[in-house]
Amino acid sequence: MIDFKRFVGRYTVLAEEFGESLSEARLKLHYEILNRSMTDDEFENAVMSVLANRKFHKMPHPAELLEYVRPDLDAVASLALQDLETAFKTKGRVVSVSFEDATINSVVNAMGGWVYLCGLDSREWEFKRREFIPLYKTHSRRDAQVDYLPGTAEHDPFADRSRSATGVETIFASYKIPKVRTVKALNPQRSADVVAGLANAKRIGSAEKT
């Protein structure tokens, strides 16, 4: 939240810099808009950025101020996708993993689960990976994320555990995880049920063959 007195002082100066005067009603309206999505420090940084970088001679709208504090989710999602693809190669489907950037956990869950994605061949993944960035941008705004992604060893008693570490392996992000204003998720759930279903189907399929 933004301290109202601090806001009035800074915003009034900002308006004066662009040769505008603000009515009390307009000032309160802009405060309500910005207060929903900014902290004191973010507001302060946005005002300083506008004064330092803006070349137009018109007072910026609240939407423009918000642009200065919103993370570039396309860029972040691209880096997250690289971390995920590296994890496919270095971890594999046997281990249970948890990405430091929990949004990746939720996206992988939405795309079918860790075990399912690890099992795709290169051609299948090349098609499937197109879903990642749009889903990342959506899930990054949810206030509830999936805790971890179960591997086959967690549910399949016949799985090879020689590469499985005890517990859940944390995969640290290679980038700074952005702070995004969130909304409540409707039905957050882990991918454990998905993995359990895949494991059961695998065992049933093997039994039918024999």
Q: What is the pLDDT of the chain when averaged over all its residues?
A: 82
Q: Which of 77, 79, 66, 20 is nearest to 39 (CA)?
A: 66
Q: Is 50 exceeded by the pLDDT of residue 66?
A: yes
Q: Which of 112, 91, 80 is nearest to 177 (CA)?
A: 80
Give the residue-averaged pLDDT of 20-39.
90
Q: Provide the percentage of residues in the chain whose pLDDT is more than 90.
A: 47
Amino acid at 122: S
How far apart, in whole angstroms, are the C-alpha atoms of residue 206 and residue 182?
Answer: 44
Task: Kindly list the domain boundaries of the chain, sorted by start residue.
Answer: 4-67, 73-209
Would the pTM of this model clear 0.85, i.e. be above it?
no
3 state SS of 97: strand
**Weakest mean pLDDT among 29-38, 54-63, 100-109, 114-123:** 54-63
**pLDDT at position 148:** 94
Count Cβ neighbours within 10 Å for each residue of 41-78 and write b for 16 or more, e otherwise: ebbeebbeebeeebeeeebbebeebbebbeeebeebbe
